Structure 1
Amino acid sequence: MFYSFSGDFGDILLSLSYLPTAERLTIVVMKAKDLMVCSESGTSDPYVKVSLIVEGKKIKRKKTSVKRGTTSPVWNEALSFNIPAELLSKVSVEVCVLDHDLIGHGHMVGRCILGPEADGIEGKHWNDMMQNHRKSLAMWQNLHR
């Protein structure tokens, strides 16, 4: 099932699934499209950083590989976090698309936050995952600042 809404900073296709028996949340960073270019060179070297947020604190981070010279990268990379079922209702996931820089940190292209408090399509994606454990649900998410 795919939903699509276009944002100014680009869009990212994410798949969410929660496996209650393993207590594992898996986010598959599939691909992005129409990413905003942040550098003077006119190209982008995007990667995705996924942060696990529990009660407002970032407790774990994972990153995808860097895709060179594209505003429509394809990753198909699974990032998994171990989360006990009783904590799942207090967890949010911040997905940031960054433009890789050789010096310092990457520039933020855009982000989305999925979780129980999220609004709109971000909240719908999370709630669909919560109601369909063991199923991978993919949705396009708008990137914003």
Structure 2
Amino acid sequence: MVSVGSVLAGLYSVPPLNEVVAPPPGMATRLCFSVEYRHSSEQLMVSLLRLGNLPPRFHGNVTLVALRLLPDDRRPRQAKARGTGPDPEFNDCFVFQVSGVCVPQSTLSVCVLSVEQDGKRHAVGRVLFPLEGELGHAGRVLWRDLEKEDDTQCSELGDVQISLSYSPTLQRLSVVVLKARGLQLLTDAGVCVQVSLQIHTQVVKIKRSCVVKGESDPYFSHRMTFKLRSQHLDEACLRFELQQPNDVRSEPPALLGVLVLGPFMYARGPQLQHWMDMVNTPQEPQGETSTFLSVNAALSLSHRGSE
């Protein structure tokens, strides 16, 4: 039986690189690939060919890509470029086992990373390719622009300032919720932050801050720690919920907004970069002198409580 997402480079043909058309004009970083669905075997074939116009600061680095078939695929398939420079080549083929009913509802996600010699990773961008309506051109070479990961999306719901650090020695993730600003409060019951550590779809641990009352710009300065093995850093995320307690204790709190920090699977923009900065600069235990990385990250609305 073929495992989902396995690489079978010797069994499936990939268009020769010398037959791949040149990228469209322009300076955008672009991904060259092709897709084909085989109904008889219910296999989606993804041929990863090359990148074009990689930014100069990444030319000397190793280029990695992580592929997933959304919404259900949680474990990325990775490929490493065969060279460096502005147009690194891959020439790899990936096989995703997916039914003919599900494939039109799926989206191919290709995330590009640049890795320095010391192992530090940088997010280059991502291509999201919905498969609906695209499977009639089997094997056609496609070029798609990468969505930049540094595009910041502002929020009208407010901002929360968070500091992260990770100790590989202790296998410990430290989180400090510093403060929030510009929150759209629903009542005067105060605000607290609930933090959930999640691996894939499983919630591993939930912790909460104290309730700060009477302020739309609350100052928490609340620290919490989570046990997290190093091998789970690419699979885990932190979910922050800003909540207002309900006057009726039996009723759930009102949810002001949700913020998710994590790798490509969960986050983009500053939220993704903040997580990657933490992974790239692990903090060994130094008592009270540990240095944390901080970022103001926009809240995204999950739902609002009753007015």
TM exceeding 0.5: yes
CA deviation vs aligned residue, 1:29-56 (integer Å, no higher than 9, x gap): 00000101123xxx35110000011011
User: 1:5 Cα deviation (Å)?
Assistant: 7.1
**Inter-CA distance 69–5: structure 2 relative to 1 (3 Å threshold):** farther
2:210 and 2:246 map into 1 onto residues whose CA distance is 13
Counterpart for residue 49 of structure 1: 194
2:256 to 109, 114, 122: 109
Q: Is 1:33 the counterpart of 2:181 in the alignment?
A: yes
Give unpaired runs (5+ residues) of structure 1: none
Q: In structure 1, how many angstroms separate the alpha carbons of the residues matched to 2:179 and 2:244? A: 15
Output the CA distance in 2 between the equivalents of 1:122 and 1:99. Answer: 23
1:61 counterpart = 2:231: no
Q: Distance between the aligned counterparts of 2:256 and 2:245, measured in 1?
A: 10
Query: 2:271: which partner in 1?
Result: 122
Pairs aligned (count): 139
1-structure distance, mates of 2:276, 2:256? 26
Matched residue SS, 1:122? helix
Higher relative contact order (CA 8 A, sep 6+): 1
Shift of 1:6: 4.7
Query: Take 1:59 and 1:12, find their aligned partners in 2: how far apart are those partners?
Result: 23
Judge conservation of contact 2:239–2:258 (CA < 8 Å) in 1. yes
**Aligned-pair Cα RMSD in Å:** 1.5
> Matched residues in 2 for 1:33 and 1:6: separation?
13
% same residue: 27
SS at match of 2:234: helix
Structure 2: which amino acid aligns with 1:96?
E
Cα shift readout 1:39-86 (whole Å, capped 9, x = no counterpart): 3xxx35110000011011212100000001111110111110001111
Runs of 4 or more, structure 1, over 3 Å off, are none
Question: In the TM superposition, what whole-angstrom CA distance separates every residue of 1:107-144 from its partner, at most 9, and x where no partner exists?
Answer: 11111101112111100110111101114111011011
Give the distance between the partners of 1:44 and 1:16, measured in 2 at CA. Answer: 28
Do the aligned partners of 2:238 and 2:261 also contact (CA within 8 Å) in 1? yes
Choose which of 9, 14, 17 in structure 1 pairs with 2:165.
Answer: 17
In the TM superposition, residue 102 of structure 1 has moved relative to its aligned partner by 2.8
Instruction: From the superposition, tell whether residues 44 and 13 of structure 1 become closer, same or farther in structure 2 (CA, over 3 Å).
Output: farther
Structure 2: segments with no counterpart, 5+ residues: 1-151, 284-290, 302-307
Determine if contact 1:44/1:71 at 8 Å carries over to the other structure.
no
